[in-house]
Amino acid sequence: MTDGAVGDDRMTRRTLLASATVGGLTGCALGRPRVAAVSGGGRLPTRIDRIQTFPVRYPTIGYFKFFEGPPGSPSGRPAVLVKITADDGTFGWGESVPIPRWSYETLESAASTIEKYLAPALIGVDPFDLTAVHRIMDLNIAPGFSKGAPITKSGIDMALHDLCGRATGLSLAQRWGRPQGGSISLSWTLNPRKLDEIGPLVEAGRKRGYTNFNVKVAPDPRFDVAMCRRVRKLVPDGFLWADANGGYDPATAMAVAPKLADVGVDVLEQPVRPNRISAYRALRRQGALPILMDEGVVSPADLITFLRQDMLDGVAMKPARCGGLEPARRQVEILEDAGLLFLGSGLTDPDVSLAATLALYGSYKLARPAALNGPQFLAESVLKTRLTAKDGKLAVPTGPGLGIEVDERKLADLVRRSRGAGSPK
Ligand SMILES: [Mg+2]
């Protein structure tokens, strides 16, 4: 357990941004509310006082290729819990959820980036000024092709959404001026290594009430077509979503897309690496399947650029990939305005990141089953009340902020056990 707090007294930039009227109260859509008496008439916090990081590895269930590592590497799903405390003692929780087999961010890089670079720069900043927070984060960890270290930054963004919600007594949906949303239907992830594993894996999902399925495809197109044919036979009516995670080369993707369509796949996500721009354009022109992007769509500017290049029919959203809720929300609105597909996925999100993701998908009325497989693959929670799927659905938390309570004793215990599994410090 580490403490990224820095005793910096630099002046806070206090920016009053546009307000949104919600249920008779004046809540803030993006910045500090104009009316302080939102919750009980108290003052609102004005500055970030302390940022703490808690690196953990959640124990996992079953096989998922993204949690594999080199021989002897630590097991478990890495995450850095982030607690931000304001000057009046109000706090909020966020969670950075790196997966090194999915992108370049790691447990160690997320923890050290927050502790050494982001936290010192954010002490004293107005917690309601998310525009300034993102600008300061992007100044101190600069972009590569797009935003740098987005998964790490997402933990800060989520913690501030939670903090500001708690301070105002408003849920995220209320602060955004959006409907709360009810339950989110989930998709069960299939990652078989052999064809005869498919039946039991589908049955395991069905037993828990799931009727829709994601399949991890690539790099072997023959296996993938056979797998999807078999899944479609077992699940004639469910939404069948194939995700290649950029694992095909362009020629293979062009050859396999019509075959996947023939066996009943509904959408093909991230068939090739995101920098293969001409391949995405060709796949879209081919029109065999709706082409979704995931990896590579980091900032709203990326999405607009890819959209103008006719590279995609939609995006498999995930706030953790985008630098947090604020950039993710802007991307969902761009997709809506452009008439493109908004699908919801995640990074096998545990606890806090899962709650933030649910809030976004609930309030933006996600229409299709979400590939949120944290409840499927993760064995533990650090919440007082775990978010549990029932009949293949997850309820959107309704309380202030992210609507969840972290149990700090459970968290301390997981931090201690994670050290033994190879977490930093
Ligand atoms: Mg994906």
Beta bridge partners of 343: 316
Tokens (6 digits) for 260:
């996947």
CA of 10 to the centre of ligand 1 (A): 41
pLDDT tens-digit series, residues 241-282: 999 999 999 999 999 999 999 999 999 999 999 999 999 999
Residues 85 and 206 in one domain: no
The per-residue pLDDT for 64 is 86
The single residue listed with the structure tokens 């953990």 is: 56
In a domain, 371, yes or no: yes
pLDDT tens-digit series, residues 198-208: 999 999 999 99
Q: Poorest-confidence range of 13-17, 30-34, 141-145?
A: 13-17
Distance, CA of 307 to CA of 314 (rounded, Å): 9
4 pLDDT exceeds 60?
no
Per-residue confidence at 423, pLDDT binned at 50, 70, 90?
A: low
The per-residue pLDDT for 256 is 98
CA of 294 to the centre of ligand 1 (A): 5
CA of 250 to the centre of ligand 1 (A): 17
Distance, CA of 273 to CA of 251 (rounded, Å): 12
CA of 373 to the centre of ligand 1 (A): 12
Q: Poorest-confidence range of 25-39, 59-73, 136-150, 327-341?
A: 25-39
The per-residue pLDDT for 30 is 53
133 pLDDT exceeds 50?
yes
Residues 157 and 188 in one domain: no
Residue 91, φ and ψ in degrees, nearest 5 = -130, 165
Residues 83 and 139 in one domain: yes
Residues 6+ apart with CB under 8 A from 356: 94, 95, 158, 161, 162, 172, 319, 324, 325, 402
Per-residue confidence at 32, pLDDT binned at 50, 70, 90?
A: confident
pLDDT tens-digit series, residues 271-281: 999 999 999 99
Mean pLDDT of 309-336: 97
Q: Poorest-confidence range of 35-44, 91-100, 137-146?
A: 35-44
- Tell me how many domains the chain contains: 2
Contact 312, 270 (CB under 8 A): no
In a domain, 178, yes or no: no
Residues 149 and 270 in one domain: no
How many beta carbons lie within 10 A of that of residue 340, not counting itself? 17
CA of 346 to the centre of ligand 1 (A): 8
The per-residue pLDDT for 3 is 40
CA of 109 to the centre of ligand 1 (A): 22
pLDDT tens-digit series, residues 84-126: 999 999 999 999 999 999 999 999 999 999 999 999 999 999 9
CA of 244 to the centre of ligand 1 (A): 7
Mean pLDDT of 408-417: 97
Residues 203 and 256 in one domain: yes
The per-residue pLDDT for 38 is 52
Residues 6+ apart with CB under 8 A from 391: 209
User: What is 65-108 written as a DSSP string?
Assistant: GGG--STTPPPSEEEEEEEEEETTS-EEEEEE---TTTSS--HH
CA of 293 to the centre of ligand 1 (A): 8
In a domain, 425, yes or no: no
CA of 269 to the centre of ligand 1 (A): 6
Mean pLDDT of 36-55: 81
- Detail the DSSP E strand segments found in 237-308: 240-243, 267-269, 291-293
The per-residue pLDDT for 21 is 27
Distance, CA of 102 to CA of 393 (rounded, Å): 25
- CATH number of the domain to which 152 belongs: 3.30.390.10
Residues 260 and 381 in one domain: yes
CA of 245 to the centre of ligand 1 (A): 5
Mean pLDDT of 398-407: 97
CA of 408 to the centre of ligand 1 (A): 31
Return the percentage of the chain with pLDDT > 70, whole number. 89
Three-state secondary-structure class, residue 207: helix
CA of 241 to the centre of ligand 1 (A): 10
The chain-wide mean pLDDT, for the chain, equals: 90
CA of 103 to the centre of ligand 1 (A): 11
| Owning domain of residue 108 | 2-173+409-420
Return the percentage of the chain with pLDDT > 90, whole number. 84
CA of 31 to the centre of ligand 1 (A): 31
Report which DSSP code applies to 294. Answer: B
CA of 295 to the centre of ligand 1 (A): 7
Mean pLDDT of 45-67: 94
71 pLDDT exceeds 90?
no
CA of 137 to the centre of ligand 1 (A): 25
Residue 137's closest CA among 327, 2, 346, 297? 327
Ion ligand 1, residues whose Cβ is below 5 A away: 243, 294
CA of 13 to the centre of ligand 1 (A): 37
The per-residue pLDDT for 9 is 28
CA of 206 to the centre of ligand 1 (A): 22
Residue 210, φ and ψ in degrees, nearest 5 = -85, 140
35 pLDDT exceeds 70?
no
23 pLDDT exceeds 80?
no
Q: What is the β-pairing status of strands 240-243 and 213-216?
A: parallel
CA of 289 to the centre of ligand 1 (A): 16
CA of 316 to the centre of ligand 1 (A): 6
CA of 274 to the centre of ligand 1 (A): 12
The per-residue pLDDT for 325 is 98
Residues 386 and 415 in one domain: no
Residues 319 and 415 in one domain: no
> In 23-181, which ranges are continuous DSSP H helix?
107-113, 119-122, 130-140, 150-168, 172-176
CA of 225 to the centre of ligand 1 (A): 18
Distance, CA of 373 to CA of 48 (rounded, Å): 33
Residues 189 and 248 in one domain: yes
Residues 102 and 138 in one domain: yes
The answer to whether the peptide bond before residue 219 is cis (omega within 30 degrees of 0) is yes
Distance, CA of 319 to CA of 353 (rounded, Å): 8
Residue 231's closest CA among 200, 267, 255, 254? 200
CA of 6 to the centre of ligand 1 (A): 36
CA of 21 to the centre of ligand 1 (A): 36
Residues 415 and 283 in one domain: no
Contact 26, 16 (CB under 8 A): no
Residues 43 and 166 in one domain: yes
CA of 27 to the centre of ligand 1 (A): 34
The per-residue pLDDT for 421 is 66
In a domain, 127, yes or no: yes
Mean pLDDT of 342-364: 97
CA of 309 to the centre of ligand 1 (A): 20
CA of 424 to the centre of ligand 1 (A): 27
Contact 38, 27 (CB under 8 A): yes
Q: Which amino acid makes up residue 213?
A: F
CA of 201 to the centre of ligand 1 (A): 19
The per-residue pLDDT for 63 is 87
Measured between its terminal Cα atoms, the distance across the chain in Å is 7
22 pLDDT exceeds 70?
no
In a domain, 144, yes or no: yes
- CATH number of the domain to which 213 belongs: 3.20.20.120
In a domain, 206, yes or no: yes
